[in-house]
Amino acid sequence: MIIETFITSPFEQNTRVLACVKTRRAVCVDPGDSAETIAAYINENNFNLQAITLTHAHLDHIGGVSDLFKLFPNAEIILHAGDEDLYYGLPEQPLFMGIPRHQLKALGLEYEAPPPLTRHWRDGEIYAVGTLNFKILHCPGHTRGHVIFVEENERKVFSGDCLFAGSIGRTDLPGGDYEQLISSITEKILPLGDDVTVYSGHGDNTTIGRERTTNPFLTGAYQMSLGNSG
Ligand SMILES: [Fe+2]
């Protein structure tokens, strides 16, 4: 698999282009911004962009969908139904994050309504990109409709904002649920195997083994620190 990462938006989100070496078919995971840079990379490499595949619909993951779709109007746009309200509500998202309306333009957070979704992810479906096969797993908790993409043969998971190197996604925004996120990680991500490389929505790559043994939210260290804080 060819993996190219673009760090996009003021939130330093990891947008990725994933491509099949054999067929040059590709997807763009979470275009947060920088559509022209992403498009130039796709065209220079003669990739055929078949879809914009979204882990979830927070603004830093979908802010570039409109512009990218204008450049690749044949691409599908796929999201879990649980995040559809967030997706179509993109222009309002900065406001519920507490950013004043008069600051949106200066911060680059003024968004137009995004283009219609092609369809919704189904939990457990296999999504083929050339010879690559991504298993789609619904992992709610950071948002209601968050999904992860697992390529079992390649031993890779694209975990969006569920799991980070040394941390987990925030759960204080609408639709967030801490207990649900921990369940998603422990029941759906950790069983994938310690050798699996984790490509997160923010920050560095890691492995499931490393997170299982050192991530304070998974080892109990975080819960212990809450208990000790009295
Ligand atoms: Fe997010």
Q: Residue 108, SS3?
A: coil
**Element (DSSP H or E) covering residue 126:** strand 126-129
Residue 192 alpha carbon to ligand 1 centre in Å:
22
Residue 59 alpha carbon to ligand 1 centre in Å:
8
Evaluate whether 77 touches 31 at the Cβ level (below 8 Å).
no
Output the pLDDT for position 224.
86
Output the pLDDT for position 94.
93
Task: Give the Cα separation of 192 and 48 in Å (integer).
Answer: 29
Residue 161 alpha carbon to ligand 1 centre in Å:
5
Which residues line ion ligand 1, judged by CB < 5 Å?
58, 161
Task: Give the Cα separation of 109 and 115 in Å (integer).
Answer: 17
Q: What is the pLDDT along the chain (230 residues), one digit of tens a residue?
A: 999 999 998 899 999 999 999 999 999 999 999 999 999 999 999 999 999 999 999 999 999 999 999 999 999 999 999 999 999 999 999 998 888 999 999 988 999 999 999 999 999 999 999 999 999 999 999 999 999 999 999 999 999 999 999 999 999 998 999 999 999 999 999 999 999 999 999 999 999 999 999 999 999 888 888 876 55
Evaluate whether 18 touches 132 at the Cβ level (below 8 Å).
yes
Residue 46 alpha carbon to ligand 1 centre in Å:
30
CA 175 to chain centre: 16
Residue 142 alpha carbon to ligand 1 centre in Å:
7
Residue 71 alpha carbon to ligand 1 centre in Å:
25
Residue 230 alpha carbon to ligand 1 centre in Å:
30
Residue 83 alpha carbon to ligand 1 centre in Å:
11
